[in-house]
Each structure stands twice: as structure tokens, then as C-alpha cells.
């Protein structure tokens, strides 16, 4: 049941009466306040709504509270014990003391916890009860933080996280954090017996997260045997990644996470990283092993900040038989295959396509600085030879006219002529600005 856009006290009273009559059948309570409420109306309405907290929450399994305006309206929740509560969602950063207490009281039954406009101080407070004892969320499978922008640098995460031996989330399967990372250690990633049940990691790689991984060795080898999805969003302030040591630290952080997923390579389906990423993290060069085993079951590989050359793409296709979507940055070198003349590469790519890359359906390439469009066009044409009509190419950037002019020229070259139809089918105009 949703109580939304109730604009008068008469309406509020009527809705409240109807709601109380329906309570025995209600499993979800979703309360959001219209932006038309002023502070007085909101206070009166919510006061009436919570005059019988036990009745309001009886039998409820899901609670969702949201403040939908920036005025003085305050969304309220009472710190009640709700025996059947499994889902709790809260969007607001005011009146949080009763919210934190409500979460603590129902930690044993919660399965999904979603907190928006949250702060690192509040994130730490849900780990420790009023007596200073650790709170354990024994049934929680999914936690989502959307963090509020900090007003000033906070040391709450460092000061209050508590013992690293406590496993607060023993059975968590999905951890998502948007914004500044709320903790100074791996509290979200610990598992019962040292092995995490996580299937999904979705976090912003801000300075706090990267430092936590680097300084506290937050991830250990084979820590995530069940991991299926990794999504890391670069969230360093502008200019940070222009400094090589910073980029190296971020890449080291990503390496640790990949290593921690070592035994789950047969289950890892999706890897997304939005920042600059060294190609060497994905593909070994210079005669080393052909590629990382993380590709074995991968379906989606999105690395728009990673420049892949033709030989890298071939390596990935060989190592990733189930790859469906590849998103990368444009190469900066002319396409080459070691030990092969340029004229023989199209025939080689046709042979490659008969063996690998049969699951590929989409390839997205972004044009970046220092990229020569003619190199990109030739690389795309060669990939098109391999994947025939099975996959579609999408160009991200503003170099479309020049790119497609080069594609037209390439199809007329002698060693590409017999593959013109394949190239045309793959590289048809399908641009994403």
C-alpha cells in the first residue's frame, strides 16, 4: 500500500482509517509525502499515522519511507520490533535516530536493506547497538547504500567501524554503494568462516574505498567463490587519475578484487569498470599466458577506459567463449598480429571467427584522445570479418563521419574486398553520442 500525494488533513484522516481496516492483509507499507505538504501538515498527519505503531506494522514484511521534497517535511519511522519484516527502505537524512534503532531491532529478520541519502556515520551506527555491542544481520542478502554528499571530511568510518573479527553480514549476496564508501575496512565483504557469499559487488572506487583495499588488504585470494557480477565506478575527483601513482593504486585495487574472485571464474558473468584500466589487467602480452581465467564464463565485459588492440580482442575472444557484449576504448596503434603480414590478417581473422567469438552480439568502442580513427576503422573491419553478421558495432564519440569514410575505403582494398559484406553488416551506422 502506498500513501502518496495526500494533500489535506481530511484526506489524511480518511486514508488512515481505511489503512487501519486493511492492516491484517498488508505486507508492504510504502510512505512518501507529497511536495505539497508543509511542515505543519506533515507533522499532524504523521503524528496521527503513528498513534498506533503496533497496529500500523502488524504483519508487515516490507517498509519503504521516502521524503520527496526539500522543504521542512520530515519522513518518520518509529523504532518498533516488527517480527515479520524482511525489506526496509529509507530515503532521508533527517530524523535518523529512530530509523537506526528500527534497523537494529529488526536485524535478525531483514533480507533487503536499502538506505538513501545516508552518511558514513549512520552506516557505522547500524553495526553497533546502543550498548556498544555488534549487530549481526543473520538473514541479510542484499544491502544498498546511496550516500549523501559529505558536508565535511568525516572520520566516523575510521573511528567507529569496530572489530575486524566481527562478521556483521555473514550471508550477504549483493553489496551496492553509490557515492563515498561508508566504511574503512572490509565489513561489507567478510563472510562466515572467511568465505564470502557475495554474488554481486557494485561500488564506486572513490579514494576511501581504494585506500581501504590498498592499506588494509581488504580482499584475499579466492575470497569470493560465488561472485557473478563486478561493477566498479571510478569516483576520483577530477585530475586524480592524471597522476600515475593514483592510476597505479586504482589498478592495484582492481587486481585485488579480481584475484579475490579467483575460484569463481566459472561463475563470473559480468565485469564493469568505468575508469582508466591498464590493459595488462585483462590481457597478458609479450609471450605470457594468453589471457586471465576470469574470462572463462564472462558474458559482459565493459571497460570503456581500457584501450584494446586487435591482438587483445582476439585474446579475449579466445578466452571468453560465452562473451556477449564487449565495450572498450579505441586502440592507439595500427592493428597487428605477431608474425603476420598486414595483407594476411583478414584471412586470419576469418579463421579466428570460425573457432571463437560465436556468442558475441555487441561491440561498443569509444573514441578517446590520441586515437587515430583510421586505426580504429581497420580494427573494427577486422573484427567484423571474424564475427560476420552475428554481432553489431556501436561507435561512441563524435568521429562518426570520418570513421565511416575510412570503413568505406577499407572495404575497397584488395585484401578486404571479399569480406566487404561481413564488414558492412557489422559496422553499419549505429552510433551512440
pLDDT in tens, the chain (433 residues): 444 444 444 455 556 556 656 655 665 656 665 655 555 666 665 555 555 455 556 667 888 877 655 443 344 566 678 888 899 998 876 778 888 998 999 999 999 999 998 998 999 999 999 898 999 999 999 999 999 876 555 555 554 455 567 899 999 999 999 999 999 888 999 888 878 899 999 999 888 888 888 777 778 777 888 899 999 998 776 655 545 556 777 888 888 888 887 765 678 899 999 888 888 777 764 444 445 667 788 999 999 989 999 999 999 998 888 999 999 999 989 999 988 899 999 999 999 999 888 899 999 999 877 788 999 999 999 999 999 888 999 999 877 889 999 999 999 999 999 999 999 999 886 655 4
Eight-state DSSP code of residue 280: G
Give 184's DSSP letter: S
Enter the DSSP assignment of 236: P
* Inter-residue contact 138 to 172 (CB < 8 Å): no
Alpha-helical segments (H) within 291-342: 310-319
DSSP calls for 148-166: PPPSS---HHHHH---TT-
Measured between alpha carbons, how far is residue 249 from residues 110, 181, 274 in Å?
36, 16, 15
| Percentages (nearest 5) of helix, strand, coil residues in the chain | 35, 20, 45
Extract the runs of DSSP E, i.e. beta strands, from 235-358.
270-273, 300-307, 325-329
Sign of the CA dihedral running 351, 357, 363, 369: negative
Contact 41, 11 (CB under 8 A): no
Q: How many CB atoms lie within 10 A of CB 278?
A: 17
Pairwise CA distance, residues 420 & 246, whole Å: 44
Q: What is the pTM of this model?
A: 0.82
- Which residue shows C-alpha cell 568505468? 274
Measured CA to CA, the distance from residue 250 to residue 389 in angstroms comes to 37
> Which residue do the cell numbers 536499502 mark?
114
Nearest residue to 196 (alpha-carbon basis) of 168, 173, 221: 173
Grid-cell match 519484516, residue found? 85
Task: Please count the other Cβ atoms lying within 10 Å of the Cβ belonging to residue 281.
Answer: 17
C-alpha cell read off for 286: 609479450
Report the run of H or E that residue 407 belongs to, with start and end: helix 400-411
Amino acid at each position: 500500500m502506498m500513501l502518496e500525494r495526500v494533500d489535506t488533513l481530511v484526506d489524511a484522516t480518511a486514508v488512515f482509517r481505511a489503512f487501519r481496516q486493511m492492516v491484517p492483509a498488508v505486507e508492504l507499507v510504502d510512505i512518501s509525502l507529497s511536495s505539497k505538504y508543509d511542515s505543519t501538515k506533515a507533522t499532524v498527519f504523521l503524528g496521527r499515522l503513528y498513534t498506533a505503531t503496533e497496529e500500523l506494522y502488524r504483519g508487515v514484511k516490507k517498509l519503504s519511507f521516502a521524503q520527496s521534497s526539500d522543504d521542512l517535511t520530515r519522513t518518520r519511522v518509529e523504532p518498533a520490533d516488527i517480527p515479520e519484516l524482511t525489506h526496509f527502505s529509507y530515503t532521508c537524512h533527517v530524523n535518523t535516530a529512530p530509523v537506526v534503532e528500527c534497523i537494529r531491532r529488526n536485524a535478525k529478520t531483514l533480507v533487503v536493506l536499502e538506505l538513501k541519502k545516508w552518511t558514513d556515520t549512520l552506516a557505522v551506527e547500524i553495526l553497533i547497538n546502543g550498548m556498544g555491542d555488534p549487530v549481526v544481520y543473520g538473514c541479510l542478502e542484499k544491502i544498498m547504500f546511496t550516500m549523501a554528499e559529505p558536508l565535511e571530511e568525516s572520520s566516523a568510518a575510521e573511528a567507529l567501524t569496530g572489530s575486524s573479527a566481527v562478521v556483521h553480514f555473514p550471508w550477504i549476496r549483493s553489496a551496492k554503494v553509490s557515492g563515498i564508501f561508508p566504511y574503512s575496512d572490509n565489513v561489507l565483504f567478510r563472510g562466515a568462516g572467511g568465505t564470502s557469499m557475495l554474488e554481486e559487488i557494485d561500488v564506486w572506487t572513490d579514494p576511501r574505498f581504494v585506500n581501504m583495499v590498498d592499506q588494509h588488504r581488504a580482499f584475499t585470494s579466492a575470497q569470493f567463490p560465488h561472485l557473478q557480477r563486478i561493477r566498479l565506478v571510478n569516483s576520483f575527483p577530477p585530475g586524480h587519475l592524471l597522476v600515475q601513482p593514483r592510476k597505479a593504486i586504482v589498478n592495484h585495487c582492481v587486481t585485488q578484487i579480481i584475484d579475490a574472485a579467483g575460484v569463481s571464474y566459472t561463475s563470473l558473468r559480468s565485469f564493469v569498470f568505468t575508469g582508466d584500466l591498464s590493459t595488462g589487467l585483462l590481457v597478458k602480452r609479450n609471450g605470457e599466458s594468453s589471457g586471465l581465467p576470469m574470462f572463462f564464463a564472462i558474458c559482459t565485459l565493459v571497460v570503456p577506459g581500457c584501450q584494446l588492440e586487435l591482438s587483445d580482442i582476439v585474446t579475449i575472444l579466445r578466452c571468453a567463449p560465452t562473451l556477449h557484449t564487449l565495450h572498450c576504448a579505441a586502440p592507439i596503434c595500427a592493428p597487428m598480429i605477431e608474425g603476420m603480414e598486414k595483407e594476411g590478417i583478414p584471412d586470419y581473422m576469418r579463421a579466428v571467427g570460425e573457432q571463437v567469438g560465436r556468442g558475441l552480439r555487441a561491440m561498443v568502442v569509444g573514441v578517446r584522445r590520441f586515437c587515430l580513427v583510421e586505426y580504429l576503422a581497420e580494427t573494427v573491419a577486422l573484427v567484423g570479418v571474424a564475427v560476420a553478421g552475428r554481432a553489431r558495432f556501436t561507435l561512441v564519440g563524435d568521429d562518426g563521419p570520418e570513421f565511416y569514410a575510412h570503413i568505406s575505403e577499407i572495404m575497397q582494398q584488395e585484401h578486404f574486398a571479399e569480406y566487404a559484406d561481413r564488414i558492412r553488416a557489422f559496422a553499419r551506422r549505429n552510433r551512440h553520442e
